Amino acid sequence: MAFLKVGKENSTDIELYYEDRGTGQPVVLIHGWPLSGASWERQSAALLASGHRVITYDRRGFGRSSQPSLGYDYDTLAGDTSKLIQALDLHGVTLVGFSMGGGEVARYFGKYAEPGRVTRAVFMASIAPALRHSADNPEGIDPAVFEGIKQAIEADRFAFLDTFLDTFYNKKLIGGTHISDAAIHASFNIATASSYHAFLNCVDAWLEDFRADIKRIHVPTLVIHGDSDQILPIEATGKRTAALIPSAQLHVIEGGPHGLNWTHATEVNKVLLEFLAR
């Protein structure tokens, strides 16, 4: 197992758990909330089989990474991504962000990008470009919705998670057609291992505005989103992100829920590999 120190809280080092496998063109996969790098299982297998170097890591507070009480804002989270890329001295990287991970991709380009380090970007069921409703962002969501989520987490995060994952995978709509109860249970187990601080405080980060960051992306970009995403509806997220990036490719997964990297892995992997091959 490999760990990278990215900070310190009092007497304790803050370390990211990461896996670095394969050879060839590097691809860094950034997971969504409230899972871990293990959620990339189906993409990692396809990428390795196609001759890519695959790097996954657990966001601070999740998986096997340290669980500090601080650092759940996007400047810090994207800074962690940048530190990993620098520590491994990666060049020519494709940076892939799923859901909350799309925020790290956007903020990386907005604040941390170094020439030649990251040369392609992928937003998959991503949180970008801006979720908070405001006068200049009418497509956004009332912040009160997120306060309700935080209250549900504070009351019983495990009960909240049980309902959340059903919506995450659209269980009532697609059932066992694309995902088993056992696979959803596995996601539940991964999520419950996260830190309470991370689980709760990341909700505030979801209100970040990434529009200025996205305008600084001038590399080939792929946006993958499901048209049945009930967590981050495509009209408010994926389509808007693609429109903000010149020449971005938008691929819509028909019937795809939020967790499409598992439920529609075959189509997702095909599109991702074709993008990397160009």
pLDDT in tens, 129-148: 999 998 899 888 888 989 99
Q: Is 10 left (phi over 0), alpha (psi -120 to 50) or beta?
A: left
Buried b (16+ CB within 10 A) or exposed e, 175-206: eeebbeeebbebbbebbeebbebbbbbbbebb
pTM of the model: 0.97
Confidence at residue 143, expressed as pLDDT on a 0 to 100 scale: 87
- Give 159-175 pLDDT, tens digit per residue: 999 999 999 999 876 65
Q: What are the catalytic residues? A: 99, 229, 258
Between 61 and 278, the more confident residue is 61
Q: Give 85-108 pLDDT, tens digit per residue.
A: 999 999 999 999 999 999 999 999
**Given this model, what pLDDT does residue 175 score?**
57
Tell me, what amino acid is at 178? H
Q: What percent of the chain has pLDDT over 90?
A: 91
Rounded CA separation 220/52 (Å): 18
The whole-number average pLDDT for the span 150-157 is 97
Q: Which pLDDT belongs to residue 173?
A: 66
Model pLDDT for residues 259-269, shown as the tens digit of each residue: 999 999 999 99
CATH number, span 2-277: 3.40.50.1820
| pLDDT band for position 155 (cuts 50, 70, 90) | very high
Domain boundaries, the chain: 2-277
Evaluate if residue 177 carries a pLDDT over 70: no
